Amino acid sequence: MTGPRPQPLVSPQGAPYELRGVPAFSPFAWLVRGWDDFRAAPLASGFYGAAFAAMGWALAALYDFAYQYVSTLAGAFLLAAPFLATGLYALSRDREAGRKPRLAPSLTAWRENPGGLGVYVLVVTVIFLVWARASLVAFALFSTGTMPDLKNFLARAFSLGNVEFVLVYFAAGAMFATLVFAVSVVSVPMMLDRGNDAVSAAIISVQVLAKNPGTMAVWAALIVLLTGIGLATAFIGLVLTMPVIGHATWHAYRDCVAWGEDPAGSR
């Protein structure tokens, strides 16, 4: 005899959903589809990529004469990034629905769920501030003297004499990065698509990660790699890599979460 059929999961908005298991190579397919979306709307996608690059140049320029304010500007980056990504998700959504992706409507896509996105930004900003404080504590515990500039910091970080500092610093960074990744891997496109609140979207995002840990590890590695390429090219590469990642994230969400009939009448 077969056991009882498992009950479908239901979001707080009343919509049943299914978490799909996806193969480990799926992130590569997401990037291919993301590249297709970029090619379908190169000017609109490139606008968002240029915005990411401009924020990178602003960070670099600020560091040259006031590196103590870099964390503030980095916080502003975290505030702006979800809204920029929301525009990219809107472009992918329109193309998926058979509509021509256009820049102007995507610029205000965040208005479809300002409450959910606002809470999400607040949570990510708090995590960032705690992360920044933990980094300062790690440096204070394992270093002497004043806070170094970037060049001296890298020299110390990769010195064999600072193995303990490197392990603690990057372990803390990995912990916070994993937390942010877990709550955001599909949450923002979901808030745009279904109107979920930030808490329920984050919970489903964590469930997606738990359902597909290997696949999400591959996806995280690809994001780090492509972002690193963008940074290594003096931020110019971000014009291409960030939009492709954004479009691919929409497809990751669509592959990992399937929605049933929505009695609450959500989007």
Domain limits of the chain?
32-255
Higher-confidence residue: 190 or 142? Answer: 190
Edge-first strand listing for the sheet containing 9-10: 9-10, 16-19, 257-259
Rounded Cα distance between 74 and 76, Å, is 5
- Per-residue confidence (pLDDT) for residue 147, from 0 to 100: 55
- Per-residue confidence (pLDDT) for residue 72, from 0 to 100: 53
Average pLDDT, the chain: 81
Binned at pLDDT 50, 70 and 90, residue 70 comes out as low
Rounded Cα distance between 143 and 147, Å, is 9
- Per-residue confidence (pLDDT) for residue 251, from 0 to 100: 97
Higher-confidence residue: 262 or 253? Answer: 253
